[in-house]
Structures are given as C-alpha cells and as structure tokens.
Chains A and B, each alone.
Chain A
C-alpha cells in the first residue's frame, strides 16, 4: 500500500494536475479569506470555509480523473492486478495519495485563522475555525472518494472528469431540489419501491442469479408496503430525507452557526469508507468481465 501511495502522490506532484489543483484550491480559499476576513471584517474562519467549500472542491476531478481510468487506458492496471497486493490496498493507497495532495492546501489554510486572530480586535473562536477546516478536509476526502469511484467506470479521463463535475454539481444543488419535492407518504412509498427494484437489479447483476435478485426485491417491496399499511405516517417526508442524504455540502454550514458538528464529520468519514468499498468492488469486477 505504501508503494502505491508514494507512486500516486509523486505522480500527482510531478505532473501538472496536482500543482494546478493545489493552486486552484488555494486561490479560492485565499480569495474568500480576503473577502470575508479582511474586506467584510468578519473574523470567523468557518464563514470562509462555508463560502469557499463548493467552488474550491469543483477542482477535485482534476486530481481523481486519472486515478483509475488512466491505468486502464495505458493497460498499467495489468501490473497492479499481477502484483502481490490486495485490491483493497491498491485502492486505499491511491485514495490516501490523493488525500495527501489535498492536505497540502488545507494545511496552508490552517495559517489563515491565526492571521485573522493576530490582527482582530474582537474575539475569535479558533476551535470552531479549525473544526470547520477539519470538516472541509473530510468533505474534500469524501468528494475524492466519490470521484475516484467514478474514475473506475470509464477508460477516458475526460469522461471521468465530466461525470465527476456533474455529480458534484448535483450533490450541491440537491438542497434546492428538496424544496420542490412532494411530502406525501404515497410518493415516498413509490420512491422506496423504485429504490428496491434498483437494489434487486444490482443484486441480480452482481450474482447473475435471478432467484437472489427476485427474493431481495420481493422482501424489500413487501416489507415497505406492509409498513406503509400499518403506519403510513412513517413515510411522511421520507423522500426528502432520502434525497437529503445526498446533500453533502449542507452539513458543513452548521459550523457557521457556531456548533462543532461531530455528526457531520462522521457522515463524511462514512461516505469515504462507502465509496472506497465501491471502488474496490468496481476495480475487482473488471477482472470478472
């Protein structure tokens, strides 16, 4: 894993992409710092993080687009498959390599609250400021994990980048989508049934067993309908809750309210773990095609 990590970090830093990524993130963090902390004279750094998070993380695909699609395109994935390293360690090595590149601009940003503190006449809560930086870093890692997974789906870096940017935009604008979604229980039930069908199909596609897929789908759908018949109020607003889980850029805003939101940190961590798992599965699956 160490070898893969070093290779990934090195190739990002020696190539243009890593440097451009770092420059881009620093540009947006710096711009927001100047605007919020100095022009608007708002001392708290969490406000900077909240306003800069989405725009600065739009550059993540630059870092992740090559991670797996380039290996596949140059057939270097055959080397990775034939090395005595497990697939999990390969994926983790790559993920940590990219996370390490992202750590560089985040580490630079850690100086900014101190500058504000030095020249501010008011009181500045550094704990919340650094908490928001930690949340920002974990959010970045979650986005890296998601985009890394998307990179395993295609051989072309350009397509990987486009899909990744599209996904980041979708995740960001989910918040607006929530306001127009219906809240009726019946709509939620239909959404759950559709989701069950998709899950059943995934089970069928990965096991090649119609029985397994059918049983999985039937159990989920019958369960959902039964719960609906017993207590329909459980389904009120469920669609909002489900779609709301996709809105990963929103929880970080809690730091702006002055709360150190541990649930938000755990949420980002679990997104990282989930998508690393998906990446392993996707990378492994290519051998079985």
Chain B
C-alpha cells in the first residue's frame, strides 16, 4: 500500500514536471524557419511560440507568407531551414506524433466532393486513428457543433460554400486535437455565415488553442486575443490584442463630421489642450475634420463641448483609438518591414520597387493592397451587416407569405 502511494506520488510529480516543462516550451515552437520557393524567399527567419488556451490571429496582406507558414506548421510543406515542434515533437522527425496534436483547415477546404459529410468525416476520423465507438461519438458532437447534422447525407459537391467550410472545420476538430489551425476560414462567405463561423471559432477557443489566419483586421480583432502580424515573410509584431490597441492609440486622432465652416471649427477648437493639429476635407456639404491628439491626452469631451457652445452640430465623432488606429499601426509596421526588405527587393525587382517609392505618402503599396483586399469583405461592423442582411431576407419572406 505504502509502496503504491509512493509510486503514485512519484508518478504524479513526474507528470507535473512534464506538464511544467511542456508549458515552458509552449504548445507550438517555431524557431527560425525560412522557406524559399526556388530563389524567391516566401518566409524569412520566423520564430514564435504558441501557448495553450489562446486564440491566435495571424494577420498579414495576401502574399505575406501566412499560408506558407501554416502549411509548414502542419507538415504539408517542408521548411528550407529552421525547426518546428508541436508539443515537443519535431514535425518532420516525429511527424505522426506531432500531427496528432493538430487539426488543419487549409485555405481551400480539402473535401472529397463525391462523398457525403458523414462519409467524409468517418474517413478522416478513421485516418486519425479513432476507434469505431469514439468515431461515432465524436462525429455526432462535431457535426452538431458545426451545424452540419442536417446536411450529413447530402453530397458535399451539392453543398453551399458556407457548409463546405463547416465540413472543413468539422474535419479539423475531429479527433479533439490540441491546436486547431484555420487558414482564412471566412473568405467568400456571406455576412451571416461570417458571423456564425466567427462565433464557432470563439466557442472552439474556449476548449482548444486556435490559430486563425486572415488578411481582414476586423476578423482578427473580433475573435483573437493574441495577434501575430506578418508582412513580406517577416513577423512585424506579436503581442496581445490589448497591448497592440494600447500602443496603437498612444498617438491617436479623432474624426469629426459636422455641418459647419472651416474657420468656425478652427476657432472653436484651437485653444483646447491636447489638440495638436486640425485637417479638413469636404464630403458633399459636410465638413470632415481630423483632429490629431497629443499622446496621453483624451480631449474628446472638450472638443464636443466646445463645438456645442458654438452651436456647431456634430453629426458623428469617432475616436481614432480603435480599429482605425490598429489599421494605421499595421500599415506602419508593414511599411517598416518593407524598408527592411528593400535591399532584397532592390536586387530582384528594381523597377517595381521604384514604382512603389513613387507612390504618394500615406498610400504605401502594402497599405493599398491591404485595403483592396478588405474591400470585397464587409469592412466594418460585420454583426450589423449580418443583422441588416438577415432582416432583408426576413422581410422578403414575410412578403412572400
């Protein structure tokens, strides 16, 4: 008995130590990985650690190296140099052990379209080594979680894009892996589906570690609590969402929309403490004012009251410390990385680089690419969009009835 107790204690101490060591190492360790496609470097010397229990956002414009990095973490692609370990297992050396910890949804869901979701998931489950009873239990929960129970017996070929994406996510979470890696999971979905998929990701984040890649900032800020920004194959920032927002709002700005003349607004705001600069532009008969604010001050209330005293109607007022500031920060960080990579770019694409340098200040080539990409996605307040979208259809249904 005593011996047994002693054995138990020793064993649990060892288990605890093992747990602590694993915690120290992080769930995923990426050390100095690079990937070249022929002579073209796609990812340059990236290192980061993924800890348990967070939702990580992998943010970067198209072609920044997000998918390449994700493919390397999941073993779909071999790194040119560097090391990746998943829960202490090397992704190439101990591939099978390492891959047991990962569920992966690539950019294009890897679906066999001649199968039904039920058949597809049972294939993936068996391939992941689940026993028959485990498989059917898990399939039931997974299909319920992703909302595909109703379409389980239809051919995947005939499903809508949103459902295909759900089947892809279901495949990734089958086998209950520690980390779920989703590469641009909301691309090409309608606003309702986007919100639903985001909710699903947040739910998954409660029980799993999730890594989510996207070129849409709103998505990352809506779902993730840790952000890794990547640009031109390099990591430009890796921090918690709060810290990033705090940094971003340090030197912020306030946007105003008013129906007043420029001189009147100038007069009303010139003596407010914390206001360093005013910039004006016209939108129809309205005046748009960008107030640059001194670091560490929050003169929002004073600005509003000053305009109120002068009887100048404020139609809208946005504090720059938020989405806008984060976007600015991203463009700024990405821009810095562009400068760092300029030596290579000068060698390889001298002409292209020349063009980029001629672009007007504030419209860095990366920045414009970034905005272009987000243009076809709902840019702001997706929830509102989704509501509007829903109500539109509900109204239509009522009319039909």
Question: Are A and B physically bound partners?
Answer: yes
In whole angstroms, what is the CA distance A6 to B127 when docked?
10
Also in contact, A7 and B123, with CB within 8 A (given A15-B114, A76-B110): yes
Write the chain B residue with the least CB distance to A81: B76
- Whether B78 lies near A287 (C-beta < 8 A) is yes
- Whether A84 lies near B110 (C-beta < 8 A) is no
- Among B71, B75, B108, B110, max chain A CB count under 10 A is at B110
Write the chain B residue with the least CB distance to A4: B127
- Encode A5-38 as 1/0 by CB contact (under 8 A) with B: 0110011001100000000000000000000000
In whole angstroms, what is the CA distance A74 to B111 when docked?
8
Interface of A is mostly: helix
7 contacts between A and B (CB under 8 A): A74-B111, A81-B74, A81-B77, A82-B106, A83-B127, A84-B100, A287-B77
- Whether A75 lies near B112 (C-beta < 8 A) is no
B126 interface residue, CB < 8 Å from A?
Answer: yes
B330 interface residue, CB < 8 Å from A?
Answer: no
| Chain B residues with CB under 8 A of A74 | 110-113
| Chain A stretch 50-105: residues in CB contact (< 8 A) with chain B | 74-79, 81-86
Number of A-B pairs, beta carbon distance below 8 Å: 69
B381 to chain A minimum Cβ distance, whole angstroms, is: 33
A281 interface residue, CB < 8 Å from B?
Answer: no
Also in contact, A78 and B114, with CB within 8 A (given A83-B124, A83-B127): no
Given A3-B123, A82-B74, A84-B128, list of 10 further CB < 8 A pairs? A2-B126, A15-B114, A74-B110, A76-B110, A79-B110, A81-B75, A82-B76, A83-B128, A84-B95, A86-B96
B164 interface residue, CB < 8 Å from A?
Answer: no
- Whether A7 lies near B76 (C-beta < 8 A) is no
B186 interface residue, CB < 8 Å from A?
Answer: no
Write the chain B residue with the least CB distance to A84: B99
In whole angstroms, what is the CA distance A60 to B124 when docked?
27
| Chain B residues with CB under 8 A of A84 | 95-97, 99-100, 127-129
Write the residues of chain A forming the contact surface with B, with a CB cutoff of 8 angstroms.
2-4, 6-7, 10-11, 14-15, 74-79, 81-86, 287-289
- Whether B126 lies near A3 (C-beta < 8 A) is yes
In whole angstroms, what is the CA distance A7 to B115 when docked?
10
B28 interface residue, CB < 8 Å from A?
Answer: no
- Whether A75 lies near B108 (C-beta < 8 A) is yes
Also in contact, A75 and B106, with CB within 8 A (given A6-B123, A82-B99, A84-B99): yes
Task: Choose from B102, B115, B129 the contact partner of A82 (Cβ within 8 Å).
Answer: B102
| Chain B residues with CB under 8 A of A75 | 106, 108, 110
- Whether A79 lies near B95 (C-beta < 8 A) is no
Task: Choose from B71, B78, B115, B124 the contact partner of A79 (Cβ within 8 Å).
Answer: B124
**For the complex of A and B, 8 pairs with smallest distance between CB atoms:** A79-B110, A3-B126, A3-B127, A84-B99, A81-B76, A76-B110, A82-B104, A78-B106
Also in contact, A7 and B106, with CB within 8 A (given A79-B124, A83-B99, A84-B128): no
| Chain B residues with CB under 8 A of A11 | 112, 114-115
B171 interface residue, CB < 8 Å from A?
Answer: yes
| Chain B residues with CB under 8 A of A14 | 114
Task: Choose from A76, A78, A288 the contact partner of B112 (Cβ within 8 Å).
Answer: A76
A61 to chain B minimum Cβ distance, whole angstroms, is: 19
| Chain B residues with CB under 8 A of A78 | 71, 76, 104, 106, 110
| Chain A residues with CB under 8 A of B129 | 84
| Chain B residues with CB under 8 A of A82 | 74-76, 99, 102, 104, 106
B105 to chain A minimum Cβ distance, whole angstroms, is: 9
B135 to chain A minimum Cβ distance, whole angstroms, is: 10
In whole angstroms, what is the CA distance A84 to B174 when docked?
12
In whole angstroms, what is the CA distance A210 to B115 when docked?
47
A107 to chain B minimum Cβ distance, whole angstroms, is: 25
| Chain A residues with CB under 8 A of B110 | 74-79
| Chain B residues with CB under 8 A of A81 | 74-77
In whole angstroms, what is the CA distance A84 to B104 when docked?
11
| Chain B stretch 48-107: residues in CB contact (< 8 A) with chain A | 71, 74-78, 95-97, 99-100, 102, 104, 106
In whole angstroms, what is the CA distance A83 to B124 when docked?
8
Also in contact, A85 and B96, with CB within 8 A (given A11-B112, A75-B108, A287-B77): yes
In whole angstroms, what is the CA distance A274 to B358 when docked?
58
In whole angstroms, what is the CA distance A120 to B238 when docked?
83
In whole angstroms, what is the CA distance A60 to B364 when docked?
55
| Chain A residues with CB under 8 A of B102 | 82
| Chain B stretch 124-145: residues in CB contact (< 8 A) with chain A | 124, 126-129
In whole angstroms, what is the CA distance A147 to B54 when docked?
46
| Chain A residues with CB under 8 A of B97 | 84
Write the chain A residue with the least CB distance to B120: A7
- Whether A287 lies near B76 (C-beta < 8 A) is yes
In whole angstroms, what is the CA distance A232 to B129 when docked?
58
- Whether A86 lies near B95 (C-beta < 8 A) is yes
- Whether A79 lies near B171 (C-beta < 8 A) is yes
- Among B75, B76, B78, B108, max chain A CB count under 10 A is at B76
Write the chain A residue with the least CB distance to B103: A82
Write the chain A residue with the least CB distance to B129: A84
B81 to chain A minimum Cβ distance, whole angstroms, is: 12
In whole angstroms, what is the CA distance A86 to B374 when docked?
39
In whole angstroms, what is the CA distance A186 to B104 when docked?
57
